Copies of this chain bind each other. A is one copy, B any other.
Amino acid sequence: MIIVMERNALPEHLQVVKERLQDKGFKVHLSQGVERTIIGAIGDKTPALMELFETMPGVEKVVPIMQPFKMASREFQMEPSIIKVGNTEIGSGQVQIIAGPCAVESRENFLEIAKLVKEAGATMLRGGAFKPRTSPYSFQGLEKEGLEILAEARALTGLPVVTEIMDTRLIEMVAGFADILQVGARNMQNFFLLRELGKVNKPVLLKRGASATIEEWIMAAEYIISSGNNQVIMCERGIRTFENYTRNTLDLSAVPLIKQLTHLPVMVDPSHGTGKWKLVEPMAMAAVAAGCDAIMVEVHQNPSEALSDGPQSLTPERFEKMVSKIRTIASSRG
């Protein structure tokens, strides 16, 4: 790290900071300018140490040099990670398409939509059994029954299923049914949940929090990986900004950034990322052009009857059209 001393820092302040750095195992280099002294502190330390120095007398600011993530980084692992899910792979070049309704609403409906999206080109199924809802008065999911329906749909279609996990107490149950465990945006910094998922031998789909920086999102992945599970898939689903025509602002620059900074595969969810079905197809095409490994979209037989997220759900017909367009883009992105 770099420590910038205040313009009027006393020599004894400088001395104390230097000694403290050496105590903590840093190699110290001084750059004495006309107006300020700058200290280069060389050593591989945790970010928490930086804060300490920031509070010492005479210190103006502390500037990090190292990225705070390690095991998720490209420097740690040069070749991109490929995550195996059933017979498919995420991160190996082909664009995977995960589709299904926001929530599993009934056995009959889910089995039907599962067949429809498979025929239209989906390579995995999605559906929530436990639903995070802003209001306690909204539909909260079918819970265990929903998981059983998901498993039945997998048996029927042969497609792997993705579903959300919201509480540490449910990991065992959900992992018993699902192929990929999804951490929702609201739980991206539920550190107990992340650590427990690090002990599971299943891929984890980690959604970006609505106000998480790229760095915080990668640090959340670092929690899972450093706890023992390196099968992490990053999913961009829109960040919260001042714009309100869209539900969120889909940050597609996250796609090339995650690929440059980490070795993890990246998925994009244009349904939550925009909140409007009319924007799903163009944004899915854009996401593929930007280089993503997978697209996750909400599809419902009858969006006007959906128990959640109807306005952002595609009909099966529109989904089929979208699949065809993104296949064309995928083959031309080089």
Contact = CB atoms under 8 A, between A and B. Distances in A.
B169 A213 contact: no
A223 B136 contact: yes
B285 A54 contact: no
B48 A139 contact: yes
A320 interface: no
A306 B51 contact: yes
Given A55-B304, A328-B334, A210 B213 contact: no
Given A213-B244, A286-B252, A305 B168 contact: no
Interface string A223-267: 100110000000000011111111001111101110010000000
Contacts of A66: 35-36
A325 interface: yes
A132 B308 contact: no
B242 A52 contact: no
A135 B47 contact: yes
Interface string A177-194: 000000000110111110
A46 B243 contact: no
B219 A245 contact: no
B31 A189 contact: no
A7 to B, nearest CB: 6
Interface in A30-46: 30-36, 38, 40, 42-44, 46
A243 B239 contact: yes
A87 interface: no
Interface string A65-77: 1101000000100
A111 interface: no
A134 interface: yes
A166 interface: yes
Contact of A33 (B42, B136, B169, B211): B42
A283 interface: yes
Contact of A215 (B223, B245, B291): B245
Interface in A41-100: 42-44, 46-48, 51-56, 63, 65-66, 68, 75
Interface stretch (A120-128, A152-160, A274-282): A274-282
A38 B42 contact: yes
